[in-house]
């Protein structure tokens, strides 16, 4: 059974940095596109970024472009999100999710439990 476990969330001051990790198990991680998706408290889902199976294709939401960097280490079955220049509106639960098919990254069949990032002074 596929499993995704996020870590690295916490409280950070505006302008600060944080690195999220997502440990994958139960499937061949290197075969799948992966995404980060976030959800602000009491709000809806917002896609953040995706990365292809071999890191050849990467894209970001406009709201995080230039500040966040998605990466992966297939040897370690891990996905990362480096978040810099954090702002209050980045406060959210961050989920890593597996795209069921490489041709449709909007269809994520496995999600982690999420990690909370709070940006506040």
Partner 1 sequence: QSVLTQPPSASGTPGQRVTISCSGSSSNIRKNTVNWYQQLPGTAPKLLIYSDNQRPSGVPDRFSGSKSGTSASLAISGLQSEDEADYYCAAWDDSLNGVVFGGGTKLTVL
33 binds partner 1 (CB under 8 A): no
Among 11, 45, 58, 88, binds partner 1 (CB under 8 A): 45
Among 67, 111, 116, 118, binds partner 1 (CB under 8 A): 111
Burial of 42 per CB tally in 10 Å (0-12, 13-18, 19+)? exposed
CB of 71 to partner 1, least distance (A): 18
The secondary structure of the chain as a DSSP string is --EEEEE--EEE-TT--EEEEEEEESS-GGGS-EEEEEE-TTS-EEEEEEE-TTS--EEE-TTTTTTEEEEEEGGGTEEEEEE-S--GGG-EEEEEEEEEETTEEEEEEEE---EEEEE--
CB of 28 to partner 1, least distance (A): 19
CB of 16 to partner 1, least distance (A): 25
Among 95, 115, 117, 119, binds partner 1 (CB under 8 A): 95
Q: Show contacts with partner 1 in window 48-67 (CB under 8 A).
A: 50, 59-62
The binding site for partner 1 (CB under 8 A) comprises 35, 37, 44-47, 50, 59-62, 95, 100, 104-109, 111-114
């Amino acid at each position: 059974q596929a499993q995704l476990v996020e870590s690295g969330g916490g409280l950070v001051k505006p302008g600060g940095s944080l690195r999220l990790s997502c440990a994958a198990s139960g499937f061949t991680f290197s075969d799948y596109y992966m995404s980060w998706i976030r959800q602000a408290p009491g709000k809806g889902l917002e896609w953040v970024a995706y990365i292809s199976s071999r890191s050849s294709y990467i894209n970001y939401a406009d709201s995080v472009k230039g500040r966040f960097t998605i990466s992966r280490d297939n040897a370690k079955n891990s996905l990362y999100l480096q978040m810099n220049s954090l702002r209050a509106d980045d406060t959210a639960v961050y989920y890593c999710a597996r795209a069921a098919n490489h041709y449709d990254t909007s269809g994520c069949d496995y999600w982690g439990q999420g990690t909370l990032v709070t940006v506040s002074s």
